[in-house]
Amino acid sequence: MGAYIFKRLLLIIPTLFFILLINFVVVQIAPGGPVEQAIQKAEAFQGVGQSASVGETVDQSSQYQGAKGLSDEMVKKIEAQYGFDKPAHERFWLMLKSYAQFDFGTSFFKDKPVTQLLWEKLPVSLSLGLWSTLLIYLISIPLGIKKAKKHGLAFDKASSMLLAIGYAIPAFVFALLLIVFFAGGSYLQWFPLQGLVSENFQSLSFWGQIKDYFWHMTLPLLAMVIGGFAGLTYLTKYSFMEELSKQYVLAARAKGLTETRVLYGHVFRNAMLIVIAGLPEALIGIFFVGNLFIEIIFNLDGLGLLGFEAIVQRDYPVIFGTLFLFTLLGLLLRLLSDVLYQIIDPRINFDSRGAK
């Protein structure tokens, strides 16, 4: 297992390289970059005709739209400010060297190091992601097992209808409904509308802070759980149903073992392999996709909202920093799922198969 983990860790390096390279090329050709935005702001402040009126020379063939009202010197200063005074390949090489030291540069528009921004936003995303994942698994696995045992019966049919509704409606729609009904939208005002904690959080007692934290987290977590547990429930159900139909289960029952002993002593370990295999994708989806809309709706300043704002503003250091972090976490989570595979079922030997 050690050799397999070492190989997978080595594969992370070229994977990160090519993902960064592809995205670097894409953002270079995308219009509306930070230099163009800065030129537009400077032109709006200075006035299009101001440069010409003081006798400055204007390069009419500039590659930047909107640069015609600024002097060459001003444009070059703006390019140098954002690092665009160097050729693309040199900028990419400098970025790689910095990233090897986990130095993601400084945000163009927030004037803070990207690592500081990521560290400031991380607690919000971790709070949403970890708690929602825990709740989803605590609900989905027992529910999926019960649906497998009650397949075709009234409980299975009734719960399937509710799951279909939860699966079809996105989490952000549930979030809006919860706000309307329970956060002062039109009916009750039991929960706060936005934020992770109250303004007087620091002045509260220890238990008061815990209560305040979960009071603010209730609606966001409820929206994420309702919108996210249906798929895992069905995965658990059909995984258990497949195992229950196998020969070793019939043999265990023939030996006189109780249904509970058969289910949790024999079937559970094999059936959970598929559920564990989907854990990295579930975590990535919850952390970096499901969080985005929830953070926007409830005004929770996390990584998802940070990445979205960076894309809108063309804040390249933040874009690449969040991309690097998301990709690295995703690769490590997939490696973790393989390790859990072998812990649960020692018959699986990745060393003999090689990294795939």
The reply to whether the predicted model has a pTM over 0.75 is no
Domain ranges of the chain: 34-100, 114-353
The pLDDT-based confidence of 66 (bands split at 50, 70, 90) is very low
Which phi and psi angles does 189 have, rounded to 5°?
A: -130, 65
Q: How far apart are CA 236 and CA 106, in angstroms?
A: 44
Instruction: Select from 117, 35, 111 the least CA-distant residue to 74.
Output: 35
Q: How far apart are CA 190 and CA 178, in angstroms?
A: 10
Helix (H, G, I), strand (E, B) or coil at 59: coil
For residue range 240-272, what is the model confidence (pLDDT) as tens digits? 888 877 888 778 778 877 777 877 777 877 777
Both tokens of 206, joined, read: 């220890």
Q: What is the mean pLDDT of residues 288-305?
A: 75
Type of residue at 47: G
Share the mean pLDDT of the chain: 75
Q: How far apart are CA 289 and CA 267, in angstroms?
A: 33
Q: How far apart are CA 191 and CA 216, in angstroms?
A: 7
Neighbours of 191 (CB within 10 A): 18
Domain 114-353 has CATH 3.40.50.300: no
For residue range 8-20, what is the model confidence (pLDDT) as tens digits? 888 888 888 888 8
H helix and E strand count, the chain: 17, 0
For residue range 19-60, what is the model confidence (pLDDT) as tens digits? 888 877 877 776 666 666 666 666 566 554 444 444 444 444
